[in-house]
Structure 1
Amino acid sequence: MGFAQISVASAQRSLIWQEKPGSWLLNTGVGLTRYAGDMNEWGDLAHLRLGTALNAAAAYRFTYRVSFRAEAQLYYIYGSQRYTRIDYNNLSFRSLNPDLWAGLQIDFRRVDDRYRFSIPYAFAGAGFTYMTPRAIYKGRSYNLASLRTEGVAYNRLPVIVRYGLGLPVLAGDGFKLHLEGAYTHVMSDYLDDVSTVYPSRKGMSELAAALSDRRPEKGGSPNSAGAQRGNSQKRDGYLTVSGRLIFVLSTKAQRNYRRSFGG
């Protein structure tokens, strides 16, 4: 096979796998997370408390600029009042949670623009997450939600709203590498098991009372019932920054090519 034939074959392959309306894509990624809530201070760059995330998504392209996307993710987050302005309260949590969301992805230009290799995009959607806040106490990990540390049984499956931006950084026949940043608003203030005030310890188990108010572990006196424990005026969330590998599973041109050869 000569150089010209190789070039023609390569060009045909690129055209077959070019992303157009009717294309299906698989999107997988790994990244870093940062929780935003009552136990983190955004300006504290010395204590970022980064977690990790694994995700997978499927997308269907409606037009040259609009795609539908559905995604599942497993993310780890944690927070601590250590090194914050309320270090003395000594609360902390960690959580390994799944989430699921669906929405739209909008490209800033048509994806078939020959003069633009890297076309940024925005995405937004809604879904659910399942919250599993835990804390380490005397060397053991405990489920905080089941202990009702604020005296309430809160919903552990809240709605989430996610939005973000992405940028392709590498492309080949049938695959791309993207960088993405997303913020997820959780429609709950209990992602970290902290929201309102310290409850009365009457009727609480010894373990629940110890994990509700951890101030005595640092030599302080217990907080009184009704004292401020969290900020209920602002709901929690988490930031995710990830590298994502996108595979073009099928396009109309690829499907037509297979049919023409009986594939």
Structure 2
Amino acid sequence: MKKDYLFFLLTAAGLGTAPAAQAQSFTKANQYLSVGASLSAFNYFGDLTPRVSFASVRMAAVRPGFGFHVTQRLTPYVSVRGALSFGRITGSDQQAAGKEAAYRYYRNLNFTSNIQELSVVGIFDLVPNHSQAVNRMPIVPYVFGGIAGFHFNPKGTVDGGTVPAGLKPDAQVELQPLRTEGRYYHRAQLAIPFGAGVRLKVAKNMDVGVELGWRKTFTDYLDDVSTTYVSVARLSTPAARYFGNGITRTDQNTPEQMDVPGALRGNSGGKDWYITTGISVNYILNKNIKTNKSR
């Protein structure tokens, strides 16, 4: 009985000290650097999605993107990643809402914007790696979060409504300088990137990953739409008067007070988001990857 009790105590002590021993065995030699590239699909949530809802996605509005990143492993669980990404987002009342959604149909707004993003995020692996790179886990799910700076530049396409002289159908015009709602906003903004993914080891020095990430922004003008219509007198150029007012469809069924000053043009109750879904390839640069001495 005493032997069984002693064996139990020794086993418990061994289990209790195992994580500490593993943590102590993780040294600078276990830290490694990787570089990689990604292909992504970009989408956005805002006033020109089918519904002004975070869950509203129009697959036809998905646009491609790509990026480059550098990742440094710091601990068995934690890595830090810096990334430079490029993509495009788009939205359209005409394509997202038919005549059954009268307000959206007659509002008739649209935009396309390129996104350039520089981000730094912390990555927390749900499966730890206490070993050197060559002995890393074959499948690793993870979550991430951090900070990003991005630049956007919404452009509108001349399509429908009352087109003034000097604007050609299908021409694209930068919207921010027009102040279509009488307001100025910065095209360089901050965002909070967060999400989850999974990494697969496909070679001793290469991983392939799949990742879904959200960007919580602090602007409601990714699509150049946020508040109310303004007086035409405050729109100083033909392009401003068109995108701020004249693009609205007009016929006998146009809702009353559709685009008068003070009428709702957008929903300022929430900020815009964009989302990325991507596949990445990561190449490990650590010199110890070639000399695995464990046998």
Which TM-score band (shorter chain)? 0.7 to 0.9
Matched-pair contact (CA < 8 Å) for 2:91–2:223: yes
C-alpha distance in structure 1 between counterparts of 2:58 and 2:175, whole Å? 27
For 1:104, which of 117, 122, 125 is the aligned residue?
122
Q: Which runs of 5+ in 2 are unaligned?
A: 1-27, 159-168
Partner of 2:71 in structure 1?
59
TM-score, normalised via structure 1 length: 0.83
1:166 aligned onto 2:197: yes
Matched-pair contact (CA < 8 Å) for 1:89–1:214: no
Percent same amino acid among aligned pairs? Answer: 23
- What pairs up with 1:97-176 in 2 under 5 angstroms? 97-112=115-130, 117-137=138-158, 138-176=169-207
Q: CA deviation at 1:47?
A: 5.0
In the superposition, relative to structure 1, how do residues 20 and 186 fare at CA in structure 2: closer, same or farther (>3 Å)? farther
Deviating above 3 A after TM superposition, structure 1's stretches of 4 or more consecutive aligned residues are 42-48, 112-116, 214-222
Q: CA deviation at 1:81?
A: 1.4
| 1:213 partner letter | N
Matched-pair contact (CA < 8 Å) for 1:72–1:99: yes
Matched-pair contact (CA < 8 Å) for 1:90–1:214: no
List per-residue Cα deviations over 1:123-175 (Å, max 9, x = no partner).
11112111100011122110000111111111111111000111124521211
TM-score, normalised via structure 2 length: 0.74
C-alpha distance in structure 2 between counterparts of 1:208 and 1:115, whole Å? 57
Aligned-partner SS, 2:241? helix
- What pairs up with 1:31-50 in 2 under 5 angstroms? 31-40=40-49, 41=51, 48-50=60-62
Aligned-partner SS, 2:212? strand
Larger RCO (alpha carbons 8 Å, 6+ apart): 1
Q: Which runs of 5+ in 1 are unaligned?
A: 1-18, 258-263
| Cα RMSD (Å) | 2.3
Matched-pair contact (CA < 8 Å) for 1:215–1:223: no
C-alpha distance in structure 1 between counterparts of 2:45 and 2:29, whole Å? 37
| 2:241 partner letter | A
1:243 aligned onto 2:279: yes
Matched-pair contact (CA < 8 Å) for 2:119–2:146: yes
